[in-house]
Structure 1
Amino acid sequence: MAKHAKISEGDRVSWRSHGSTAIGTVKRKLTGRGRAAGRTVDASSQEPQYEVRSEKSGGTAVHKPEALSKKPKRRGKSG
């Protein structure tokens, strides 16, 4: 299995969603069983999952780290 970049809260990430690529921000790392993004998540410290918020829709989702790719931070608008 390929090694993925370390993901942390606040990171900007992308993931595949409904045939396209979504971009958003990691809200929190999940390391236990609980509720997130409207569903029950069965994560652990050995197999964490991440709650992310989409930049486009504002919706939240939960993904395993192998589904996420780090993206550069957005730059502020100049002017």
Structure 2
Amino acid sequence: MAISENDTVRWNTSQGETEGTEEEKRTKEFTFDGQKFKASEDEPYWIVKSSKTGAKAAHKESSLTKK
């Protein structure tokens, strides 16, 4: 599955499945919202924006499902 910027994706949260939009792909270690993430070319992370709340979060690409 190839995910691209602005794709609509789904991911699981403790409240259930959430839907949102891909905003930025990260392939190097980064800090987001006070947390460190170890992204790489093999295991990229995406900054996603929730369609419901507008909140942004970082998720591994492997945890996302393209809609």
- CA distance in 1 between counterparts of 2:41 and 2:62 reads 15
- CA distance in 1 between counterparts of 2:15 and 2:54 reads 18
- Listed as ranges, the gaps of 5+ residues in structure 1 are 72-79
Tell me how large the CA RMSD over aligned residues is: 1.1
Equivalent of 2:11, from 10, 15, 21?
15
Q: Give 2:55's aligned residue.
A: 59
Give runs of aligned pairs for residues 41-56 of structure 1, distance below 5 A: 41-56=37-52
Give the drift of 1:19.
3.7
Runs of 4+ in 1 over 4 A off after TM superposition: none
Give the drift of 1:49.
0.8
Percentage identity across paired residues of the two chains:
36
- How high is the TM-score relative to the length of structure 2? 0.88
Any idea what the Cα deviations from partners look like across 1:5-41, whole Å, max 9, x if unmatched?
11111100000111411000000100001122x0222
Residue 32 of structure 1 pairs with residue 25 of structure 2? no
Count of aligned residue pairs for this structure pair: 66
